[in-house]
Amino acid sequence: MIGRRLPYLDKCSSECLNTSMDRAAKRAFKTNLFEQFARIGKALANGNRLEMLELLAQKERSVEELGRLTEMSTANTSQHLQVLRRARLVDATKDGLYVRYRLADPRVFELWQALRDLGKDRIAEIDRVVHSFLKERSTLKPVTTKELRQRLKDGSAIILDVRPAEEYGAGHIRGARSIPLGELKSRLRELPKSREIVAYCRGPYCVLADEAVVLLRSHGLKAFRFERGFPEWKAHGFPVEMAFPVAG
């Protein structure tokens, strides 16, 4: 018997080896799989890149335009965009001498929206940051999405888009009027004091609508801020238009 391996030991060794190999293969599979998902998380783990996603939710933009809006150099902006592109969160198209970027999929905005809303619910510091800068917001009771839909249905309010004109042209809430914030003071006479005005801009943390409401109220108009923005409205499938505004 010495020097001979028992049959059941050979069988056990084979089964144990196969089990060990299966376990290693499964672990490698899981590690690789979750690392691929983590590419998206790594791309989102930067405030500048999150701001870019919100800006691209309004319209496609060039590197130079994004750099101007985020107050970063063109080189730095381009590096951030490449990270987003490698994670398949944005796409790019050559436009003459420029490269224009856009969200790769509507779900990219939905992902940012979910992250933003979760952060608001779970991180108290977000509210503190908002209230420390937007001091008037606590006195500006917002109009909800449901309330805005009703106002559009019955025509009881003027819906005012205070984003830049090119963003309005790329897409806006159906029936909204375009008066960019920078032109609002000089165009106040276009807005009747007899009607309610609901101003909206890029999203819940965009300051343009807050500034517009403060300005309108200081001139005796009944104004309110929409609690969300154009991308959220569009994401819900509510009516939108794409048309360039006529000045004045």
Burial of 247 (0-12, 13-18, 19+ CB in 10 A): exposed
CATH of domain 46-108: 1.10.10.10
Domains in the chain: boundaries: 46-108, 136-241
pTM for this prediction: 0.84
CATH architecture of 136-241: 3-Layer(aba) Sandwich (3.40)
Q: Are the CB atoms for 60 and 104 separated by under 8 Å?
A: no
Tens-place pLDDT, residues 81-126:
999 999 999 999 998 888 999 999 999 999 999 999 999 999 999 9
Angle at 104 between CA 181 and CA 94, to 5 degrees: 80
pLDDT band at residue 134 under the 50/70/90 scheme: confident
**Residue 159 has what pLDDT?**
98
Residue 201: both structure tokens together: 């801009």
Tens-place pLDDT, residues 14-49:
666 667 768 888 999 999 999 999 999 999 999 999
Catalytic positions:
201
Domains 46-108 and 136-241 agree in fold? no
End-to-end CA distance of the chain: 103
